[in-house]
Amino acid sequence: MALEFQSLLILLALITAMACLYSSVGHGGASGYIAAMALLGLSVLDIKPIALTMNIAVSALALYFFARHFNWKMFIPLTVMSIPMAFLGGASEVSPMLLKMVIGASLVLAALKLFSNQIEIRNPSTPSISALLATGAALGFVAGLTGVGGAIYLSPILYVMRWTDMRTNAAISGGFVFVNSIAGLGGYLASGNTLPPFSALFIVTALLGAIIGASLGSRSISSSNIRKLLGVVLVVAGSKLILTAF
């Protein structure tokens, strides 16, 4: 790992902060980790597997804290289509610049809605199975194309469509990114690749931040504040996609 000690400390601090922020809304934080590692000059060959392993660890912890808010009836139709479509998305060729700009802008716009809309979702509507299957398929395909965890797209859709309250949103999003990240890492390892030897250091660091974020998000922070935190996450992820489009 070609990082000076000072740069390593900065990177670990950024990972801790990202894990804390993302886990508070049930996300793994891959987009934040990728941005931090790229900023500090980590090798592109190491970024993907490290981000995936941290994503799995943090989303698993977030899922544990939000487990009592989980909804299997929504989760299964979403994921049964997202995993194969993520594989197809990863194998497809689309203009990366245009795709990142469009999706990044949509995430920022979704964040603005979260900041401005103060209505709590107390009586969520029940989506049809076909709607969940279609949503999972579309999000899996986009996640495969962009390399960003599907939860960053799923959360605003669940909120805008009024399908869940904010804590159930976080629980389903955590499970969604968990299974898709495992699938992504499995594909990476099946191709004959191995994890970088220093991966454990980053996983432990991310888990420390996630313990703080997930415990606060699942228990102490109000639903209104979770919505605002999600808005911050979307701005960070959307800005990252737009900036890396060029």
> In the predicted model, is pLDDT for residue 23 greater than 80?
yes
Phi then psi for residue 164, to 5 deg, are -145, 160
DSSP 3-state of 66? coil
CA dist 199 and 65 (Å) reads: 24
pLDDT, mean of residues 205-210: 95
- Written as one letter, the residue type at 4 is E
Residues 6+ apart with CB under 8 A from 192: none
Range of the domain at 176: 5-243
CA dist 52 and 36 (Å) reads: 14
pLDDT in tens, 138-181: 988 887 776 666 788 898 899 889 999 989 999 999 999 898 88
Q: Provide the pLDDT for residue 93.
A: 64
Q: Provide the pLDDT for residue 107.
A: 76
Q: Of 5, 7, 6, which is closest to residue 41 (Cα–Cα)? A: 7
Q: Provide the pLDDT for residue 2.
A: 55
Better-scored residue on pLDDT, 187 or 128: 128
CA dist 244 and 100 (Å) reads: 8
Q: Which two tokens stand for residue 214?
A: 């997930």
CA 20 to chain CA centroid, nearest Å: 12
Contact in structure between 63 and 175 (CB atoms under 8 Å): yes
Contact in structure between 173 and 154 (CB atoms under 8 Å): yes
Task: Domain count for the chain, please give it.
Answer: 1
Q: Which two tokens stand for residue 53?
A: 């392993």
pTM reported for the whole predicted model: 0.82
Going by pLDDT thresholds of 50, 70 and 90, the confidence category of residue 118 is low
CA dist 82 and 87 (Å) reads: 9
Going by pLDDT thresholds of 50, 70 and 90, the confidence category of residue 94 is low
pLDDT, mean of residues 122-128: 88
CA dist 62 and 56 (Å) reads: 10
Going by pLDDT thresholds of 50, 70 and 90, the confidence category of residue 99 is low
Computed over every residue of the chain, the mean pLDDT equals 84
Q: Provide the pLDDT for residue 212.
A: 93
Percentage of the residues of the chain whose pLDDT score is greater than 70 = 91
Better-scored residue on pLDDT, 135 or 8: 135
Q: Which two tokens stand for residue 44?
A: 């592109």
Q: Which two tokens stand for residue 117?
A: 């809309």
Contact in structure between 188 and 48 (CB atoms under 8 Å): yes
